[in-house]
Amino acid sequence: MAAYYPMMMNLTGRRCVVVGGGPVAERKTLGLLDGGAGELIVVAPRVTAKLEELAVSGSIALERREYMESDADGAFLLFAATDDRLLNGRVAADAARFGALVNTADAGGEGDFATPAAVRRGELVIAVTTGGASPGLAALLKRRLAGQYGPAFEARVGRLRELRLLAQAGIADAELRSAVLRLAAEQTMREAESHSADGEANDGETIEQWMSRLRDAAERGR
């Protein structure tokens, strides 16, 4: 079993090609759209209703035909997402020849990377993978995390970003700044755990007031 290196990838302006038109290809395509794929092409003679909808809306480019070797040329990421192991193997071989990174749906050991189950809350992304040992477990963990960190958590993360920018501009002492941001993160987690998954964050104070309060607490803790 290959060991994988976890990372986040910027797909802005990158050409991504999904080979296949079934449920697996649909899932890969939706994940790529969530990840900001710059140019997304789906190649398949038949596709799901959702993929048809995405093609009509212009979210993806749909090539209604069988896969050809030239589809791998110029691709940054290539997804072999068919139920045909031989075809997936061809796609993987072509990816290697053209220098594209490939993900194979049947996990035949030919892929360069795996796509984890992910929960997205704005800038917060929580990814879970079992390395192919149990996709079912990864899905269950994703569901649990999605409930624990509901949609309201997006606003909490947004406030943390605002605070960080303000602290970088207003607190010259690196040690004090780090303490303030650590206290903010700890408070955010406590608030999330004390509210329901979709509960509203306590945003009655401004970012400036919040930083001042946290700064006082950090200075007292020195």
CA triplet 38, 152, 121: central angle to 5 degrees?
Answer: 25
- Do 10 and 35 contact (CB within 8 A), yes or no? no
Q: What is the mean pLDDT of the chain?
A: 92
Nearest to 164 by CA among 186, 152, 188, 180: 180
DSSP E strand stretches across the chain: 15-19, 39-43, 61-63, 77-80, 101-104, 117-121, 124-128
SS3 assignment, position 174: helix
Q: From first to last of its 222 residues, what are the pLDDT tens digits of the chain?
A: 678 888 999 999 999 999 999 999 999 999 999 999 989 999 999 999 999 999 999 999 999 999 999 999 999 999 999 999 999 999 999 999 999 999 998 765 568 998 899 999 999 999 999 887 888 999 999 999 999 899 989 999 999 999 999 999 999 999 999 999 999 999 999 988 776 444 455 557 899 999 999 999 999 987
The whole-angstrom separation of Cα 28 and Cα 21 is 10
Q: Which residue has the tokens 């997304």?
A: 40
pTM, 2 dp: 0.83
Domain range summary for the chain, segments of one domain joined by +: 15-115, 153-220
Bridge partners, residue 119, by sequence: 126
CATH superfamily of 15-115: NAD(P)-binding Rossmann-like Domain (3.40.50.720)
Burial classification of residue 65, based on how many CB atoms lie within 10 Å of its CB (0-12 exposed, 13-18 middle, 19 or more buried): exposed
Length of the chain in terms of residues written: 222
Burial classification of residue 28, based on how many CB atoms lie within 10 Å of its CB (0-12 exposed, 13-18 middle, 19 or more buried): buried
**pLDDT tens-place string over residues 30-67:** 999 999 998 999 999 999 999 999 999 999 999 999 99
* Secondary structure letter of residue 71 according to DSSP: G
